[in-house]
Amino acid sequence: MPRWKPDARQRLAVAALDLFTEQGYDETTVAQIAERAGLTRSTFFRHFGDKHEILTAGQEMLSTLFAEGIAEAPASASPLDAVALGLDRAAGAMTSFNRDLGPRLHAATEANEELRSRSAMKSVVMATAISDALLARGVAAPAAQVAAELGVLAFGAGYRAWSDPARDAAPGELTPHTRAAFAELREAAAALR
């Protein structure tokens, strides 16, 4: 078995999600994941702290990208315009690998109650990062919270559309999908008046 390959992290993620879907999250061991990926347990632990971390990998990065995009928005930008820039920053970091994992991640999460709960917590963490970035810009707390939730909803809706295997075989980048979802949510919010 080779000691090092440059795509080890990705191979581990794919192997884990395939096993979670095939036999369930609780029944899947780190040893099985490493074996399926053609790697060792020690390689697994160089990339992930445990099997749950595979499901949350990238969460901190996405939250950071969102916050950076908001922080770099012009001072004149409205809270929603700042969130749109954060959304573009986060969506722009997603690759075809992230797209391909979408259906596997969804299947694994939906099959396990604990994973569904943890998935909901990921949204809370992202919304908090967005809200904090808006608060740092001087946005009032209620407006920051609403704008943050819209950003999270738009990212999720755009990601689901982009990663849907029944859609276009060459969907391009995630950004147009998240922009469309955010525009739709902004219209819906404006119609609530």
What is the per-residue pLDDT across 134-146, written as a single tens digit (0 to 9) for each? 999 999 999 999 9
pLDDT of residue 120: 78
Domain that holds residue 20: 8-53
If asked whether residues 64 and 46 sit together in one domain, one would say no
In a domain, 1, yes or no: no
CA–CA distance, 138 with 82 (Å, rounded to integer): 12
CA atoms within 13 A on the CB side of 189: 16
Pair 68, 116 in one domain: yes
pLDDT-derived band at 6, boundaries 50, 70, 90: low
Examine the domain organization and report whether 80 and 63 are in the same domain. yes
Residue 169 lies in a domain: yes
pLDDT above 90 covers what percent of the chain? 53
What pLDDT digit, counting tens, does each position of 60-93 carry? 888 999 999 999 999 999 999 999 999 999 999 9
**What's 100-118 look like in SS3?**
HHHHHHHHHHHCCHHHHHH
151 pLDDT more than 60: yes
Q: What is the mean pLDDT of the chain?
A: 88
Instruction: Tell me the average pLDDT across 98-110.
Output: 81
> What tens digit of pLDDT does each residue of 21-52 get?
888 888 999 999 999 999 999 999 999 998 88
- 155 and 80 within one domain: yes
The torsion defined by the Cα of 106, 112, 114 and 118, in degrees rounded to 10, comes to 0
CATH number of residue 37's parent domain: 1.10.10.60
Residues 136 and 118 in one domain: yes
Within this chain, do residues 140 and 180 fall inside the same structural domain, yes or no? yes
pLDDT at position 3 over 70: no
Q: Are residues 129 and 63 in the same domain?
A: yes
Those residues with Cβ within 8 angstroms of residue 98's Cβ, 6 or more apart along the chain or in another chain: 58, 163, 174
- Do 78 and 42 lie in a common domain? no
Tell me whether residue 93 is in a domain: yes
Q: What average pLDDT does range 99-121 have in this prediction?
A: 80
Q: Do 35 and 104 fall into the same domain?
A: no
Whether residue 13 is found in the same domain as residue 93: no
Q: Do 65 and 112 have their domain in common?
A: yes
Q: Is the pLDDT of residue 169 over 60?
A: no
2 located within any domain: no
Total structural domains in the chain? 2
- Looking at the predicted structure, is the pLDDT value of residue 2 above 50? no
Mean pLDDT over residues 147-163, rounded?
Answer: 93
3 inside domain: no
Same domain, 70 and 134: yes
